[in-house]
Copies of this chain bind each other. A is one copy, B any other.
């Protein structure tokens, strides 16, 4: 049975790392006898916007909804299109309309990668951030009043629903149950944000009663970011609202030195709609066009996609190939960000060969 993958490379280095993501996936597919069919789309980039005045065609939902997964590069190029237009016009549409309510990001110290934290070794840091991905602080309700005057105010609403909160918590608790340490940390700010965040805490406490075997703790987001730096070994599964999860899933990879190579999955767990897999890094206009971007984030995202499609063994093999090439530490192969002088293609090929 063929799996149909929609490919959207997007902007900047997205277009450079995407071919390497596909190369690695094709290598894994050959080895594990998986039938992947890729279909490339041009929309969802700022260049498309400049030509068409919108990020996506009107029928994008129809065009994409029957794919088994979306494989995404990176979107955004602020000099061409303001970020809130390019992102709300593409990535954030997919997350919402395809109800990808889980954003999942591993934070793992990999061999050969230097953590910016003193004295941390591979094995010391290995946790997941589970982020609510469709509501919360990323609402589109609100507006401006008294515009252009001294009395000008803007208001934006944070909206949390029981459905929205409970389903991400359930996913996070279920994930914690598959892990040896069975630990879940909730990100809150109920001491300062006095309506939505105490509600979040309530729902966590309620869900925890159904998972008596999971050790649950919570931290306010301010001290939680501090603890990512001071005690990254404390964490196993960390769950947060849309905004808090966003922050933690950049900070976590930064602490493991993997911000340039970390993957992310935007998941609709029920499979009613395609899930979307993308590297954490953005389109990086500053290094775009030079062929020096690190393709590992794209490849690792491909591994998460295979796992989602049911090929755990193939996914593990892809991650093992990444670890092997990083562990070899060949500076001709590795890209600049991880201490080498290699190109995007060279590193991508090395990983594909390992497969």
Residues on B with C-beta less than 8 A from A160 are: 153-155
Q: Which of A13-21, A177-185, A194-202 contacts B (4 or more CB under 8 A)?
A: A194-202
> Does A150 sit at the interface, judged by CB under 8 A?
yes
Chain A positions 123 through 148: 1 when the CB is less than 8 Å from some CB of chain B, otherwise 0: 00000000000000110101110000
> Does A36 sit at the interface, judged by CB under 8 A?
no
- A163:B150 contact, CB within 8 angstroms: yes
Nearest neighbor of A249 in chain B, beta-carbon distance? B222
Question: Which A positions have Cβ atoms within 8 angstroms of B?
Answer: 76, 82-84, 87-88, 92, 114-119, 137-138, 140, 142-144, 149-163, 189-199, 221-223, 225-227, 229-230, 242-243, 246-247, 249-251, 253-255, 259
Residues on B with C-beta less than 8 A from A253 are: 226
Residues on B with C-beta less than 8 A from A154 are: 159-160, 195-196, 199
Given contacts A143-B195, A246-B192, A157 and B157 within 8 Å (CB-CB): yes
Nearest neighbor of A162 in chain B, beta-carbon distance? B152
Q: List 14 A-B contacts (CB under 8 A).
A: A83-B191, A84-B198, A87-B192, A92-B192, A116-B118, A118-B118, A142-B195, A150-B163, A151-B162, A155-B160, A156-B194, A222-B246, A227-B254, A229-B229
- A159:B152 contact, CB within 8 angstroms: no
Q: A125 to chain B: closest CB distance in Å?
A: 13
Given contacts A194-B88, A251-B225, A156 and B153 within 8 Å (CB-CB): no
Q: A89 to chain B: closest CB distance in Å?
A: 11
CA A153 – CA B138 in complex, angstroms? 15
Residues on B with C-beta less than 8 A from A230 are: 116, 254, 259
CA A298 – CA B229 in complex, angstroms? 23
Residues on B with C-beta less than 8 A from A196 are: 142, 154-156
**Which of B88, B115, B156, B193 meets A243, CB within 8 Å?**
B193
Residues on B with C-beta less than 8 A from A199 are: 144, 154
A-side binding surface: helix, strand, loop or mixed? mixed
5 additional contacts, CB 8 Å, given A117-B117, A138-B193, A154-B159? A117-B118, A156-B193, A157-B157, A225-B225, A226-B251
Q: A264 to chain B: closest CB distance in Å?
A: 12
Residues on B with C-beta less than 8 A from A84 are: 190-192, 194, 197-198
**Which of B83, B158, B246 meets A190, CB within 8 Å?**
B83
Q: A309 to chain B: closest CB distance in Å?
A: 28
Given contacts A84-B190, A118-B118, A193-B156, A225 and B243 within 8 Å (CB-CB): no
CA A151 – CA B230 in complex, angstroms? 39
Residues on B with C-beta less than 8 A from A137 are: 158, 192-193
Residues on B with C-beta less than 8 A from A143 are: 195
Residues on B with C-beta less than 8 A from A246 are: 189, 192, 221-222
- B250:A223 contact, CB within 8 angstroms: yes
Residues on B with C-beta less than 8 A from A247 are: 221-222, 225, 247
- A225:B198 contact, CB within 8 angstroms: no
Q: A95 to chain B: closest CB distance in Å?
A: 11
